[in-house]
Amino acid sequence: MRLFELCGEDKNLTFSPFVWRTKMALAHKGLAYEKVPCNFTNKEAFAQSGSKTVPVIEDGGVWVSDSWDIACYLEDNYKDSPSLFGGDAGRGLALFLNNWAGPHLILPMFHILAPDIPQYLTTVDAEYFRSSREKFFGHPIDELLPHKEKNMERFKKAISPIRATLKAQDFISGNSPAYGDYIIFGAYQWARQVGSIDLLEGEKYIAPWFEKMLDMYDGLGRGAKLAVRD
Amino acid sequence: MRLFELCGEDKNLTFSPFVWRTKMALAHKGLAYEKVPCNFTNKEAFAQSGSKTVPVIEDGGVWVSDSWDIACYLEDNYKDSPSLFGGDAGRGLALFLNNWAGPHLILPMFHILAPDIPQYLTTVDAEYFRSSREKFFGHPIDELLPHKEKNMERFKKAISPIRATLKAQDFISGNSPAYGDYIIFGAYQWARQVGSIDLLEGEKYIAPWFEKMLDMYDGLGRGAKLAVRD
């Protein structure tokens, strides 16, 4: 199996929150794979998938893209290894969480992280990142900087269900970690790798959960390369 | 078993979104019960539970309050009837959805519905409702009225994960309805019974799901009394 992932100028700095979902899912399933780091502007390696974004996997000639579709593919094709969803209701509700995470976790987080990112990209990628995200936000990403406090407040409000859930139980998915945990882990890992603000400060319930997640699968998350600020 | 539920001036107008979760859960489990309608300001009937809010159930001398705790009690004590959660991961993620629904579904909905409610309550209840909710909002509930459009916009944004999930699958909980669906059903049923605005207008994916939910269990939801506006 091959996993196509996003990297910075440093090929070992692989920080996409969506790719992290897939990496944790592959580890959960105990599957080995070859990593193929790709820049934002270098999509030829996985062109056959028809996707313009990572994660993409190629599994014996089968191409699958989109982190959710990859999770379902792994669940349905590797039934003998531990389940990512724990049954139909677990899969259904994990999709709800997945659909929540885009606009209500990743997006508020991106308002805080976006200005931190281009410094770690190749010159070509940084230019692409700045112009595509300027189009998305309707203004240059650096204009987010003066609103950091307000954006932080919005983020802290948005994640209240994560906080309340981890106050009541060890993992988002109940007694043991599963795909729901990986969705949220990916976001905080992204922030840990490239962000300049500690989003877990004061998070009595989320921070200890994140530490446990970093240690899973022989420290897969903890061992990840962190961006080195100038 | 007895279910203590909230009613308006009309004892048959029982509209609490939290009680609806429990009613659907009891129907899912196929359990029979006696209904005990209570006003906002009449809590003696279930005082033994130690709770000041409904739903409360009394099951052969065992008192359980809080819709989530009731769901867990039913799941753990009626194992032979259909599961509300579909396993540990399903229960874990249903708690996430439950924690999401309070601040991100019920609360934005309440900003729209609150001014509609007192007209259906007893005089004493209406006074209690107005003064307690004024304390909560920091202003009289009627001051929400001029902001209906903005609050509607906020609500429509908040529910994007419901919309996206029901676009992809038949039920919030996957292929068949379970507790996650009842959490969301309760909110829309509340709006259907006492609200003056159709919150499902234009909802291509949520509206057909809600119709299916209304028909379940011999039309339990569809048969519920609706408020009659003056």
Residues of A in contact with B176 (CB under 8 A): 88
Single-letter code of the amino acid located at A199: L
Average pLDDT over chain B reads: 97
**What percentage of chain B reaches a pLDDT higher than 90?**
99
Give CA B69 to chain center in angstroms: 15
Q: Are residues A162 and B85, on separate chains, in Cβ contact within 8 Å?
A: no
Burial B173-207 (b: 16+ CB within 10 A, else e): bbeebbbbbbbbbbbbbbbbbbbeeebbeebeebe
DSSP β-bridge partners for residue A38: A6
Tell me, yes or no, if B118 comes closer than 8 A to chain A by beta carbon. Answer: no
Which among B92, B164, B171 has the least Cβ separation from residue A92?
Answer: B171
Q: According to the model, what pLDDT value does residue B212 have?
A: 98
pLDDT in tens, B75-92: 999 999 999 999 999 999
Question: Is B117's pLDDT higher than 90?
Answer: yes
Task: Classify the C-alpha dihedral B104-B107-B108-B109 as positive or negative.
Answer: positive
| pLDDT score of A230 more than 80 | no
Set of chain B residues whose Cβ sits within 8 Å of the Cβ of A108: none
Q: Give the global pTM.
A: 0.97
Cβ <8 Å between B93 and A180: yes
pLDDT tens sequence across B150-201: 999 999 999 999 999 999 999 999 999 999 999 999 999 999 999 999 999 9
- The β-bridge partners of A63 are A58
Residue of B nearest to A184 (CA): B96
Q: For the segment B52-64, what is each residue's pLDDT rounded down to a tens digit? A: 999 999 999 999 9
SS (H, E, C) A164-194: HHHHHCCECCECCCCHHHHHHHHHHHHHHHH
In angstroms, the CA B101 to CA B97 distance is 6
Nearest to A92 among B88, B100, B174 (CB): B174
Check whether B46 has a pLDDT greater than 80: yes
- Give B181's contacts (C-beta < 8 A, 6+ positions apart): B24, B171, B172, B173, B209, B213
B104/A103 touch (CB, cutoff 8 Å), yes or no = no
Domains and CATH numbers, chain B: 2-219 (1.20.1050.130)
pLDDT in tens, A65-82: 999 999 999 999 999 999
Question: Residue B93: what pLDDT?
Answer: 98
How many Cβ pairs within 8 Å bridge chains A and B? 123
The pLDDT of residue A30 is 98
Residues from chain A that touch B89, judged by Cβ atoms under 8 A, are 83, 85-87, 90, 94, 173-174, 178, 180
Kindly state whether B220 is in contact with chain A, defined as any CB-CB distance less than 8 angstroms: no
ipTM of predicted assembly, 2 dp = 0.97
> Is residue A50 scored above 90 in pLDDT?
yes
